[in-house]
Amino acid sequence: MTDFEIVKLEEKHLESTAELEALCFAHPWTSEGLKTLVREGGVGFAAVEKENGRVISYAGMVMAADMADITDVATHPDCRRQGLSRAVMERILGYAKEQGMTSVALDVRVSNSGAIALYEGLGFEIAGKRPRFYRTPPEDAYVMIKQL
């Protein structure tokens, strides 16, 4: 397993996080867009390699009132199946609870059985479906919610 630490996302991580986004998603957030996660109302936690400071996994979240939305969860393809997504999700969910959030929601492709299993293992439940939510490739999304 890669030697890493889980840290709160900071400006210094945004370029590396944007590179990870581009590697993992058809419509990635840019480093400019990711600034939302280091400003008031947004937060991110990242698994960062201790050797070089590279972000290898992260989860982002925005909060409003007492509800939070997970914006993205990404793990570098070479680092998957090592528990990194679970680790960053556990950290971000703990933070949401500390901040007084009562629920956390996210969207996930209906075909992404690995992510769905991860989220169910963390206590999320499927609450609905968004038809044609994803554009590339076109696909429905499940809305999953966890009560805190």
Per-residue pLDDT of the chain (148 residues), as tens digits, is: 568 999 999 999 999 999 999 999 999 998 889 998 988 779 999 999 998 899 999 999 999 999 999 999 999 999 999 999 999 999 999 999 999 999 999 999 999 999 999 999 999 999 999 999 999 999 999 999 999 9
The predicted pLDDT at position 3 comes to 87
pTM of the model: 0.93
Structural domain boundaries, residue 8: 4-147
Q: In what order do the strands lie in the sheet with 42-49?
A: 4-8, 42-49, 55-64, 67-75, 103-109, 138-147, 125-135
94-128 in b/e burial notation, b at 16+ Cβ within 10 A? ebbeeeebeebbbbbeeeeeebbebbeeeebeeee
For residue 69, the domain's CATH number is: 3.40.630.30
Domain tally, the chain = 1
Terminal CA-CA length for the chain: 30
